[in-house]
Amino acid sequence: MAAPTNSEKNAELKPPPGLKSLIDHLISVYPDQPNPLQVTTLLKYWLGGSDPLDYISMYSNRGQGEGESERIPPHWHYVSFGLSDLHGDQRVHLKEEHTTRSGMGFELTFRLAKTDAELRQQQECPEKSIRPPTWPANLLQSIARYCFQTGNGLCFGDNIPWRKGLDGSANSRMQSLLVAQDPQLGSIDTPFGTVDFCQIVGVTEEELEQASRWNGRGVLNFLSKDVQTGGDWLVTNMQRTMSVFELFPETLLNLQDDLEKQGSDLAGVNAEFTFRELKPTTTIKEEVDFRCLNERCASEENNRQLIESQMKREEPSFPQSMSMSSNSLHKSCPLDNQPQAPDCISLDGIEITLAPYAAKYLLLAIKDRIRHGRHFTFKAQHLALTLVAETVTGAAVTVSEPFGVLGYWIQVLIPNDLVPRMMEAFRNAQLDGKTEPTQRLEFDWPDKHFKLIVDQPPCALPTAMSIEAAPVN
């Protein structure tokens, strides 16, 4: 056999087009660090490994001081490779028609403030390279694993209730995450489509709670106002002990005022639920075997390859009640892009059983979304449930037919006269958005043929489903 030529060797070493686009973009941002330290997956995802990110590069960013236009603390900058399409040969990401995104359309980044000890060491021995912590790489890998295994993407403004120290420590107040656009990397075009750089930002529980109730982008804007809370580039400081609302109490007053006047931008949360039809009459409009609905979903061709891949991989260890911005949710449930009315099955009445961990969002859904003429979705990995206000346009349900099943999407219209009754019922049950109910709760509005139960859904349902639909503007 003839020895390979130099051109053949060079072709073997040349990175694939998608990967090269990301590398070139990062070299333009960090020209002094063409070969950064990397965390590399030994057994690639497309060879049967469990970690979907092929690489995570770690850059040293000197930040910018007080005398400059932006106040940015020195930090480590972590960037993922693998959520976008690196290869273009369908080894990881299947080609989708009518999409302009590369793979899942984004990569993850994270900015970690350097500790005082690291800064002193850098000053004392500038010629000696300091190794960055590697726990952020594990964090990004966990988030990527969730995205791969559920099919759910991330959008700017989303929030993630991590519920533990991001670095695994017991005493850190940074125990949750918001999703921002990376201020340096932004968005790029690659040979396989566009890639957004979604920056994961560590936040306190109070900041997460307010982002969930109001607006993730709004809370990020508060955080960026001062270097103590991240500065212009939203650098996560694991040593931060106070929330932005403790440091600057006036921001909380402004937030609460906006929430009452404008409502919440939170469009939905991931949450398990089940439902069944309530039949007040003997006439059945169309029989639906709801027990078999998930099995039918699993047999659909557009979910087949996703399910097969899940059978080979472990379940994601990820918070169940991840919250979604309107942009993120619209990719799954666009109200203005759905089948025609004949495909929608109208129900006489409906009973919904919602997991207790999601019950704290019920008052928000009605008071801060439906009351302001919007919609709210509980999105499971097998089904989606959208509560709709009367004024929402494009919905499959109407005042005369308020309950509908559209494929694997359940829609429930909440009439205007029911809104104050639901708000009162949820307040009386102390669903204040802070605590999870410990007992079964039942809410029944018989005149509306609508019943809501807060309890563990009666059956374990598949976790490999995602609802695919085109995004809206």
Domain that holds residue 301: 268-305+339-454
- Residue 1, classified by CB atoms within 10 Å of its CB into exposed (0-12), middle (13-18) or buried (19+), is exposed
Same domain, 43 and 180: yes
CA distance 423 to 420: 5
Position 327 in a domain = no
CA distance 248 to 253: 10
- Residue 252 makes CB contacts below 8 A (sequence gap 6+) with 210, 245
Same domain, 427 and 409: yes
Could you read off the pLDDT of 356-400 as tens digits, one per residue? 999 989 999 999 999 999 999 999 877 899 999 999 988 999 999
State the chain's mean pLDDT as an integer.
82
CB 220 within 8 A of CB 180: yes
* pLDDT(414) > 60: yes
φ, ψ for residue 200, nearest 5 deg: -85, 125
- Residue 380, number of CB atoms within 10 A of its CB: 24
The pLDDT > 90 percentage for the chain reads: 57
- Residue 444, classified by CB atoms within 10 Å of its CB into exposed (0-12), middle (13-18) or buried (19+), is middle
Position 468 in a domain = no
Position 7 in a domain = no
Q: What is the model's pLDDT at position 461?
A: 39
- Residue 301, classified by CB atoms within 10 Å of its CB into exposed (0-12), middle (13-18) or buried (19+), is exposed
Position 176 in a domain = yes
CA distance 187 to 181: 8
CA distance 140 to 431: 32
Same domain, 156 and 292: no
State the CATH number of the domain containing residue 295: 3.30.1360.230
Q: What is the pTM of this model?
A: 0.73
Position 215 in a domain = yes
Mean pLDDT on 96-119: 93
Could you read off the pLDDT of 255-312 as tens digits, one per residue? 888 878 878 888 888 899 999 999 865 554 554 555 555 445 444 433 433 323 332 3
Could you read off the pLDDT of 71-98 as tens digits, one per residue? 899 999 999 999 999 999 999 998 888 8
What DSSP string describes 278-295? --SSS--SS---GGGHHH
**DSSP E strands: which ranges in 36-125?**
37-40, 55-61, 75-81, 101-113
Same domain, 284 and 373: yes
Position 321 in a domain = no
Position 3 in a domain = no
Q: What is the model's pLDDT at position 381?
A: 76
Q: What is the model's pLDDT at position 69?
A: 55
Q: What is the model's pLDDT at position 471?
A: 32
* 241 vs 66, residue with greater confidence: 241
CB 109 within 8 A of CB 198: yes
Q: What is the model's pLDDT at position 254?
A: 84
Same domain, 294 and 352: yes
Length of the chain (residues):
473
- Structural domains of the chain, count: 2
Same domain, 279 and 298: yes
Same domain, 21 and 96: yes
Q: What is the model's pLDDT at position 163?
A: 86
**Strands laid side by side in the 450-454 sheet:** 273-277, 350-354, 450-454, 441-445
CB 154 within 8 A of CB 203: no
Of the pLDDT bands very low, low, confident and very high (cuts 50, 70, 90), residue 322 is low
Could you read off the pLDDT of 145-202 as tens digits, one per residue? 999 988 889 999 898 989 899 999 988 999 999 999 999 999 999 999 999 999 999 9
Same domain, 290 and 236: no
Same domain, 115 and 69: yes
Same domain, 284 and 431: yes
Give the HSE-up count for residue 437: Cα atoms under 13 Å, Cβ half-sphere: 23
What DSSP string describes 251-275? HHHHHHHHHHHH---EEEEE--EEE
Mean pLDDT on 110-115: 96
- For residue 26, the surrounding DSSP H or E stretch is helix 17-29
Same domain, 197 and 83: yes
Position 461 in a domain = no
Q: Which residues pair with 384 in a beta bridge?
A: 379, 409
Same domain, 358 and 432: yes
